[in-house]
Amino acid sequence: RQKGPSTPATCDMRCNKLHRTTTEAHKHKRNSPKEKAFKLGISHSLIVAVLALTSHWSINFACAFSFVRSRGPTIALTMAAKEDSVNAGDKGRLLVSKFSSIGFSKSDGSNVRLILASQSPRRREILDMMGLTGRYTVNPSPLDESALQRELAAQPNLSPEEYARTLAEHKAQALGVEMVTTSSSEETEVTLILGSDTIVDLDGAILEKPVDESDARSMLGRLSGNWHKVHTGVAIYGLGLDDNQQPKLLTSFTDTARVKFADLTQKDISSYVSTGEPMDKAGSYGIQGVGGQLVEMIEGDFFAVMGLPMHTLSRELSRAIMLLDAK
């Protein structure tokens, strides 16, 4: 504690001492490990941001700028390692890498036939968008779908997801059995049979195709303003895989999307039904057509709502072809 009055010289000495102490503290802070790490993080962030703009890296900018937290070197090395693994001896995980394997017969250089067991124009459209135009044939399944639907509806513990997948499996299997029964005694070419079924799930209640316009209006009224789920079941059967010649299930799955309808007036509903579009659609609407106007929001794969989940189907068809090539 200072005794006596302070002179100007004494004040100057104290101020100079305080300035030197503060300067040294700031200097120490700037050179601290934490401060160095912060600066290093910013440097890595800028470097990766430039690389993301000037190279072929697929880098999320949110990921790039998370380098500010000085985690940059680890993330950068992980990305580089991942890119190297993709380029090193990768045979491709998607169907686009297997186009040369799919065709009508071995005479055209392919080794796998693909048959769509559905007469749905929407599923054909999706396969065409996937680049399969001219590489598959359409042969509707002989399955008595209505009878199977009644049988499945009587099973109280069957979930909507299982319901859709089971229908898809039976569609593909029924076509495979028919092909084996009606084919000649010659060796059957290796064939993939694609079956699919799409249903609308409103709080656990399954909405199939409407039986008439009144049913369609009722379904749309229930969907109005609400969220619902769309389940598309997919099954891939193989034919001609061994001497047994019976169709074998290679894979099956269900892809689910959530859809939010806008609040519809009775005029909206009746006008849409009058277009005729709802009459052959599960849930009485088609998202890829006029019915897209009814949809306010979607979570999941748009193509699953349309009738075939494009990405998952691409991956599973590619996997099936790899299994066949390995035999």
Kindly give the interhelix angle for 213-223 and 266-273, rounded to the nearest 10 degrees: 140
Using an 8 Å Cβ cutoff, are 285 and 278 in contact? yes
Using an 8 Å Cβ cutoff, are 216 and 153 in contact? no
Using an 8 Å Cβ cutoff, are 165 and 253 in contact? yes
Burial of 302 (C-beta count, 10 Å sphere; 0-12/13-18/19+): middle
Helices (H), the chain: 8-30, 33-54, 61-65, 72-87, 121-127, 145-153, 160-182, 213-223, 266-273, 302-306, 310-326
CB-based contacts of 240, cutoff 8 Å, min separation 6: 187, 188, 189, 190, 191
- Does 197 participate in catalysis according to the annotation? yes
Alpha carbons 200 and 188: distance in angstroms, whole number: 37
Which position among 197, 201, 255, 301 bears the catalytic label? 197
Alpha carbons 199 and 159: distance in angstroms, whole number: 12
Closest CA to 110 of 194, 193, 191, 195: 191
Secondary structure (3-state) at 95: helix
φ and ψ of 134, to 5 deg: 80, 5
Alpha carbons 172 and 175: distance in angstroms, whole number: 5
Using an 8 Å Cβ cutoff, are 70 and 40 in contact? yes
Q: Which residues are catalytic?
A: 197
